[in-house]
Amino acid sequence: RDDAMNQRNGWHAVRRRCCAPSRFGSIPARALVAACVAARCGRADALVDCSGSPDCSALRRQPCSIRGDISNTCGACLPGTWGGRGPMNTVCLSQTACGVIYPGQETCSIAGVPFLLPLGKCVCDDGTGAMWPSAPGLCARVYIKFPNGIGIYEVQQCTSRTCEEDTCTTMASWMPNISQTTENVSFRCVTEGGSDAIELVDNCDLITDQLSPSALCGHVGFVATSTIWTALGDAPVDCELSPSCPESVLDTTRPAQSCCFGTHWSLQLNSQGEETTVTAPGFCPLVHGLEGNESNYSNTSNSSNSSFDCIVTSAARGWTGCACLDSRGYPKAGWTCTVTCERPWCNLPSEGIPPVPSAWLSSEVVSSLLVDQGSHGKVLASWAASGSCWLRWLLCLLLLR
């Protein structure tokens, strides 16, 4: 009796659900009940063949299901991956996939600093063109068109800083390739129809490993505080102004030289903050040669022609300081300091330049020992004028003799 009662209640529950108003118009109640019963009870003839399914794990997809809709076809993309939802047999992009824009280039190669677009994020230039020189102030994203279908990948340029769909236009697009797996997934470099070269890569770490994180800040005086995956803002990475330089870095007399070698007028401090008798070392460490990216930065100085060099940038727009470079010509992590920062080109924080880290401290240089460039020029001019006068007197005396 109890079983009969439960079965009866079940049928009534099905009938109530199936007789609900339909958004497709009026459907006979008997037809609805039949459809619901079929869905509730399952149908043996709905099973599909999965014996010829590809290796779905190599496509980053769920396995083929015998209760699916298409035979021998993998399911949806695995969590965290990117592509058409499926079922289909195209590879889904990895969690570390990204779009790469090479500003002003005709090839997809790292000749400068690319503009990186992690999937699922709207990335923007700061308005000065420092990060995206060919599109100052604009934003971009990787967008999946027809996500419920084939899943076409697009790099779009957007005028809004949230990449609203009606503000975006397509710069490049790629169809998924059914012959590719995680072992060989790749996309062609798109160069036609624009000023930039654009590509889509399955593993963006192959790009970021060739760069210094701070190179993505767009200004040599700023240092990265995140990766492209952990950035909270709309820039490629989160950045902040580098700390103040130690006293051993002179801002008025050969700053690049003092970045590399310091000055004998500034001494090291001990752990108690007291002066020692040891001259403070140069701020920048030596690196083994320059591999060919020295053109990435202006005002770059090499201290010698030996195999080990001190490579430093001491000036940029609105900024002076020491940005020590690695052998590729990119800022060396943890080796950038600031002397001056002036708006609008250098975004000075409201609290000013961060203080000198304790590990960098050196003794203050007595100001009377320094000759700024302006007064130094006046002294030289005075000496030149004085020398010219004495030369004229000497010529007069020779003529009189």
Q: Rounded to an integer, what distance in angstroms lies between the CA atom of residue 353 and that of residue 244?
A: 6
Strands 98-102 and 197-201: antiparallel
Whether the pLDDT of residue 233 is over 90: the answer is: yes
Report pLDDT for 255.
Answer: 79
Report pLDDT for 294.
Answer: 41
Least confident range from 93-107, 250-264, 331-345, 373-387: namely 373-387
Report pLDDT for 373.
Answer: 43
Q: What's the mean pLDDT in 226-240? A: 95
- Per-residue pLDDT tens digits for 78-125: 999 999 988 999 999 999 999 999 999 999 998 889 999 999 999 999
Report pLDDT for 302.
Answer: 53
Q: Is 159 exposed, middle or buried (0-12, 13-18, 19+ CB in 10 A)?
A: middle
Whether the pLDDT of residue 17 is over 50: the answer is: no
Report pLDDT for 253.
Answer: 67
Minimal CA–CA distance to 62: which of 53, 46, 75? 75
Q: Is 334 exposed, middle or buried (0-12, 13-18, 19+ CB in 10 A)?
A: exposed
The segment with the largest mean pLDDT, out of 123-132, 272-281, 381-390, is: 123-132
Minimal CA–CA distance to 322: which of 264, 257, 230, 238? 257
Q: Rounded to an integer, what distance in angstroms lies between the CA atom of residue 327 and that of residue 287?
A: 6
The segment with the largest mean pLDDT, out of 5-9, 42-46, 186-190, is: 186-190
Question: What's the Cα-to-Cα distance from 201 to each of 16, 54, 140, 385, rounded to whole Å?
Answer: 51, 23, 16, 65
In this prediction, what percent of the chain has a pLDDT beyond 70?
Answer: 74
Q: What's the mean pLDDT in 332-360? A: 91
- Pair 249, 361: CB distance under 8 Å: no
Report pLDDT for 224.
Answer: 95
Whether the pLDDT of residue 13 is over 70: the answer is: no
Is the pTM above the cut of 0.75?
no
Whether the pLDDT of residue 58 is over 60: the answer is: yes
Q: What's the mean pLDDT in 58-70? A: 94
Minimal CA–CA distance to 216: which of 350, 312, 292, 103? 103
Q: Which two tokens stand for residue 260?
A: 């590399």
